[in-house]
Amino acid sequence: MAQPAESKASRRDFLKLAAGATGVVGAPWIARNAQAKPTTITFARESSYVKNFDEHFQKVLAPAYQKATGIKIEYQIQAAGGGAVPQLVSMVENKSGADLAWVQQEWLYRDALVDVSDIAEAVGKEQGGWYEEIKNLSVDNGKWKSVPNGNIGQLMVYRKDWFEEAGIKRFPETWDEFLEAGIKLKAKGHPFGMSMGHGFADNYSWLYPLLWSYGVTVMDKTGKKVALDASETAKAVDFVRKLYKEACIDDCVGWLDPHNNKAFLTSQISCTNNAYSIMVSAKRDLPDMGKVIDHALNPKGPTGQRYHSLVPVTHGVFAYGPDPQAAKDFLRWMMDPKQYRPWIASGDMYFAPYLHAFDKVPEWDIEPRVKPFQKVLETGKLTSWPAPANRAHGAVINRWVVIDMFSKACTGASTKSVIAEAVSQLKQIYGIA
């Protein structure tokens, strides 16, 4: 948490120090910090899968901010893989822990976040404007409650060599072709591994886009009517059951987020839906496999549409902190292109900015197989889409209502019963009679 300063530097002393710091002279937050009191700001962030990204923050950004303002940044790394949300919830409940954070599932505690509209609007203005869809998460009642930092792109990750061996020259364009390819590959001992367990990313990232591409959403636009109760849902459920039975490895129905990475890297599966972390690990530890991995966009559904699921990283400032303004100043500094662009580049675009200024930057060319992750932003939707991303939506995600609808169908339940159960849960969660 922000600590009160022990020694009081005069405004003049501070400005001298600030003037000496390169790259940040004259920025508005410097003037503000001349009167600021804290000596430390705690920034909580889930451990990123890209080591350089965390290191860049710790070795470059945090010291630079300290040099410029005298404020030390405590970088509190939280465990990755779903563990961060309970930690954030505890922080909010206890009104302690961090001044600002990667606010995962912020719909759960938006009331505890300060308005950061000034920062988000300024950043949007100077960096080409925000992608529209992310506003549905960060903007609540007309106010920005978090500043988007980046999207962890989720795509189809597949073994190009095995696909070619099975006579599949290009990655399937439609879900039906995808099933067909899966049947062929499973017959050759290389099944697909599509996660359907109680994880938080790799299950949502293909099941929701699949559902949408069948023309169904979970709720309607208002978030007051269940839209899942449709005949297309039954078709989607039947398709997933068939895909699971005929093309997938048995275990994937219970997989948590790390399991598909492990299965892919140990050559148990030929395709899954994941971020590009599998390729990073393979290139580092299994160079031969690293060469034959590729990424592809999610297939199109019967509607002819292709969708992707956004996995957003947004930063918010807690209102209960001793000096939220100091944390806001730091956030503004961090999002300045001078700091933000090298930081994003250090992570090899693993976190894709929701800002149009980054659409065609050369950083995307570092690896041709990373480039498709930029496209995720064009067709990417929040899991709440088209309904508001609110608390009720959080409950749907954390109770795996839609995921379990599919996984139950795969483990023997009838299509009718799984849909009825999901609809009844949705009604209970959204308070619909």
Shortest distance, position 266 Cβ to another protein, whole Å: 5
Give the helix/strand (H/E) hosting 287: helix 287-292
356 binds another protein (CB under 8 A): no
| Ramachandran angles phi, psi of 158, nearest 5° | -145, 160
Among residues 418, 420, 426, which one has the least CA distance to residue 396? 426
Is residue 29 within 8 A of residue 15, CB to CB? The reply is no
Using CB under 8 A, which of the segments 255-263, 283-291, 303-311, 331-339 binds another protein?
Answer: 255-263
Which long-range contacts does 60-67 make (Cβ < 8 Å, 24+ apart)? Answer: 60/342, 60/343, 60/346, 61/334, 61/339, 61/343, 64/21, 64/23, 64/24, 64/339, 65/330, 65/333, 65/334, 67/21
Among residues 216, 217, 210, which one has the least CA distance to residue 196? 210
Shortest distance, position 223 Cβ to another protein, whole Å: 16
Question: Which residues in 385-404 contact another protein (CB under 8 A)?
Answer: 391, 394-395, 397-400, 404
CA atoms within 13 A on the CB side of 219: 29
| Ramachandran angles phi, psi of 400, nearest 5° | 50, 40
Cβ-based nearer residue to another protein, 216 or 405: 405
Cβ-based nearer residue to another protein, 199 or 372: 199
Question: Which residues in 231-250 contact another protein (CB under 8 A)?
Answer: 249-250
256 binds another protein (CB under 8 A): yes
Q: Which amino acid is at 51?
A: K
Return d(Cα 10, Cα 402) in angstroms, integer: 58
211 binds another protein (CB under 8 A): no
Using CB under 8 A, which of the segments 54-62, 84-92, 139-147, 273-281 binds another protein?
Answer: 84-92
Among residues 138, 152, 148, which one has the least CA distance to residue 314? 148
Tell me which of 157, 252, 275, 326 binds another protein, using CB under 8 A.
252
Question: Which residues in 309-348 contact another protein (CB under 8 A)?
Answer: none
Is residue 227 within 8 A of residue 404, CB to CB? The reply is no
408 binds another protein (CB under 8 A): yes
Cβ-based nearer residue to another protein, 153 or 324: 324
Q: Report the Cα–Cα distance between both ends of the chain, in Å, rounded.
A: 44
Cβ-based nearer residue to another protein, 50 or 401: 401
39 binds another protein (CB under 8 A): no
> How many Cβ atoms sit within 10 Å of the Cβ of residue 301?
24
Using CB under 8 A, which of the segments 172-180, 260-268, 341-349, 377-385 binds another protein?
Answer: 260-268
Q: Is 22 left (phi over 0), alpha (psi -120 to 50) or beta?
A: beta
112 binds another protein (CB under 8 A): yes
Shortest distance, position 414 Cβ to another protein, whole Å: 13
Burial 205-242 (b: 16+ CB within 10 A, else e): bbbbbbbbbbbbbbbeeebeebbbbbebbbbbbebbbe
Tell me which of 92, 137, 243, 349 binds another protein, using CB under 8 A.
92
372 binds another protein (CB under 8 A): no
Return d(Cα 328, Cα 334) in angstroms, integer: 10
Cβ-based nearer residue to another protein, 267 or 303: 267
Which structure tokens are listed for 112? 């505890």
Determine the size of the site formed for another protein (CB under 8 A).
46
Cα–Cα distances in Å, from 76 out to 24, 103, 121?
A: 24, 13, 27
413 binds another protein (CB under 8 A): yes
Shortest distance, position 324 Cβ to another protein, whole Å: 15
Cβ-based nearer residue to another protein, 93 or 220: 93
Which structure tokens are listed for 209? 């886009």
5 binds another protein (CB under 8 A): no
378 binds another protein (CB under 8 A): no
Shortest distance, position 433 Cβ to another protein, whole Å: 13
109 binds another protein (CB under 8 A): yes
Cβ-based nearer residue to another protein, 98 or 297: 98
- Contact set with another protein (CB under 8 A): 82, 85-86, 89-90, 92-93, 105, 108-112, 196-199, 249-254, 256, 262-263, 266-268, 391, 394-395, 397-400, 404, 407-408, 410-411, 413, 421, 424-425, 428
